[in-house]
């Protein structure tokens, strides 16, 4: 019962109540009908036998004593047939009334529950980047029973929007304020290192570690600042993905050559969005695929158009991602293997930035396949978007990832 929708529950309960009432009425009416048919049949038989032996005018009783009279066999057959027909029609009418009532209950409950469907539909569409959209709020013309829920829901959206805005503003301000002292620290460290080339091994190691951590903090503040400013980036560029991937592979060649990684790209498509953000998205994914790859491995970027959508895949030959971490890797500061954080650098924000860019373009990203033979990251973008849209607005074509893709 718990798996049924509320509409079906109301329909089944209504049909059960109506069926119970109809069956009860049928049993009572059937019993009464058969009882009085028996009395009428017996009385008519008794009357016929009495008339054949006596004068009809002398018979003053409409219902003579039936104990002394024998019913006519033909009349009994007629009465029994009438009883059977009465019972059958009674049950047919009960079934018809029950089915008709259930259909009406289903239709009426569907109309009554329409505000709940609209409410659920709006809940499914809510994302951090559209909380301020007035179309997400419930309209004023709702039934009286839903007015308090409507007001609470709209207030919740306002509070969430304020919270997200305050969070992004704080993140942006903090990242901006950190840039100057971090840049000053880096400059001082470089100057000190240049002035003391003959420092002892312990001091040199300390300066190297300090420089690495300062650079990591500078990169983190830069990424946080980018995350806070994504909404202001226009998404009006017409992007040819083929040339973009060629440029990307050229930029990543020095990093790939260090591990003898082969970079391969294929396919082309036209995408409407932010050229800068799409490049950053593919750069982060490809850089991760190179860093966490095996020596002498490969990274393949492919693009294809399918069902009104553009699919991009980045496949590597690394060690794979455990199944329990395939959703968590897109969370800020998350690392699958924290022991390798110093070896590979970074702040754990690369994939969080990727997910934010994907969301702003109305796209999807997921781990399509991952094993000890490598990982494939898949992205699906709507093919057609209005060029006048800003990042965060959904495209005109909805592209849904098939359920079998995971």
Q: Are residues 279 and 330 in the same domain?
A: yes
pLDDT of residue 39: 62
Q: Are the CB atoms for 378 and 316 separated by under 8 Å? A: no
- Does a structural domain hold residue 33? yes
Q: pTM to 2 decimals?
A: 0.56
Alpha helices in 292-374 (DSSP H): 341-344, 350-360
Q: What is the DSSP string of 64-115?
A: --GGG----HHHHHHHHHHHHHHHHHHHHHHHHHHHHHHHHHHHHHHHHTHH
Question: Which CATH number fits the domain that encloses residue 215?
Answer: 1.10.287.130
Give the span between the Cα atoms of 54 and 317, in whole angstroms. 113
Mean of pLDDT over the chain? 75
Q: Are residues 296 and 202 in the same domain?
A: no
Residue 53's Cβ-side half-sphere holds a number of Cα atoms within 13 Å equal to: 5
Containing structural domain, residue 90: 6-112
Q: Which of 132-146, 160-174, 286-300, 337-351 has the highest mean pLDDT?
A: 286-300
| Alpha carbon 175 to chain centroid, angstroms | 33
Question: Which CATH number fits the domain that encloses residue 315?
Answer: 3.30.565.10
pLDDT of residue 406: 34
Q: Are residues 247 and 217 in the same domain?
A: no
pLDDT of residue 181: 82
Q: Are residues 90 and 152 in the same domain?
A: no
pLDDT of residue 241: 92
- Does a structural domain hold residue 1? no
**Cβ atoms within 10 Å of 35's Cβ, excluding its own:** 10
The radius of gyration of the chain from alpha carbons, rounded to an integer in Å, stands at 40
Q: Which residue has the higher pLDDT, 266 or 80?
A: 266
- Does a structural domain hold residue 135? no
Q: How many domains does the chain have?
A: 3
pLDDT band at 405 (very low <50, low <70, confident <90, very high): very low
Q: Which residue has the higher pLDDT, 10 or 319?
A: 319
Where does a domain end: 191, 209, 227?
Answer: 227
- Does a structural domain hold residue 319? yes
| Alpha carbon 304 to chain centroid, angstroms | 25
The first and second tokens of residue 42, run together, are 């017996």
DSSP, collapsed to helix, strand or coil, labels residue 302 as: strand
- Does a structural domain hold residue 141? no
- Does a structural domain hold residue 121? no
pLDDT greater than 60 at residue 148: yes
């Amino acid at each position: 019962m718990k798996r049924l929708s509320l509409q079906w529950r109301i329909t089944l309960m209504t049909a059960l109540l109506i069926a119970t009432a109809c069956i009860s009425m049928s049993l009572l009416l059937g019993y009464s009908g058969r009882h009085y048919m028996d009395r009428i049949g017996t009385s008519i038989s008794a009357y016929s036998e009495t008339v054949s032996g006596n004068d009809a005018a002398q018979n003053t009783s409409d219902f003579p004593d039936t104990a002394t009279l024998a019913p006519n066999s033909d009349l009994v057959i007629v009465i029994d047939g009438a009883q059977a027909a009465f019972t059958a029609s009674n049950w047919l009418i009960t079934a018809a009334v029950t089915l008709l009532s259930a259909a009406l209950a289903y239709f009426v409950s569907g109309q009554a529950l329409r505000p709940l469907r609209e409410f659920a539909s709006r809940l499914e569409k809510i994302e951090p980047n559209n909380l301020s959209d007035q179309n997400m709020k419930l309209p004023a013309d709702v039934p009286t029973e839903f007015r308090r829920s409507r007001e609470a829901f709209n207030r919740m959206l306002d509070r969430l929007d304020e919270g997200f805005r305050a969070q992004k503003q704080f993140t942006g301000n903090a990242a901006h304020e950190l840039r100057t002292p971090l840049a000053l620290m880096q400059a001082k460290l470089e100057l000190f290192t240049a002035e003391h080339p003959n420092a002892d091994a312990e001091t040199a190691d300390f300066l190297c570690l300090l420089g690495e951590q300062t650079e990591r903090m500078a990169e983190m503040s830069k990424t946080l600042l980018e995350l806070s400013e994504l909404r202001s980036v226009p998404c009006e560029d017409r992007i040819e993905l083929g040339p973009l991937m060629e440029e990307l592979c050229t930029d990543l060649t020095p990093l790939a050559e260090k591990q003898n990684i082969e970079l391969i790209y294929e396919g082309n498509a036209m995408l409407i969005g932010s050229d800068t953000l799409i490049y950053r998205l593919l750069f982060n994914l490809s850089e991760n695929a190179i860093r966490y790859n095996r020596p002498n491995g490969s990274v393949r970027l492919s693009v294809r158009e399918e069902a009104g959508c553009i699919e991009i895949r980045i496949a590597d030959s690394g060690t794979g991602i455990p199944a329990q971490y395939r959703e968590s890797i897109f969370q800020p500061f998350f690392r699958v293997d924290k022991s390798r954080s110093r070896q590979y650098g970074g702040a754990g924000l690369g994939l969080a930035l990727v997910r934010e860019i994907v969301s702003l373009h109305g796209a999807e990203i997921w781990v399509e396949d991952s094993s000890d033979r490598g990982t494939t990251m898949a992205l699906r973008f709507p093919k057609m978007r209005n060029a006048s849209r800003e990042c965060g607005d959904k495209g005109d074509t909805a592209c849904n990832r098939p359920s079998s893709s995971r």
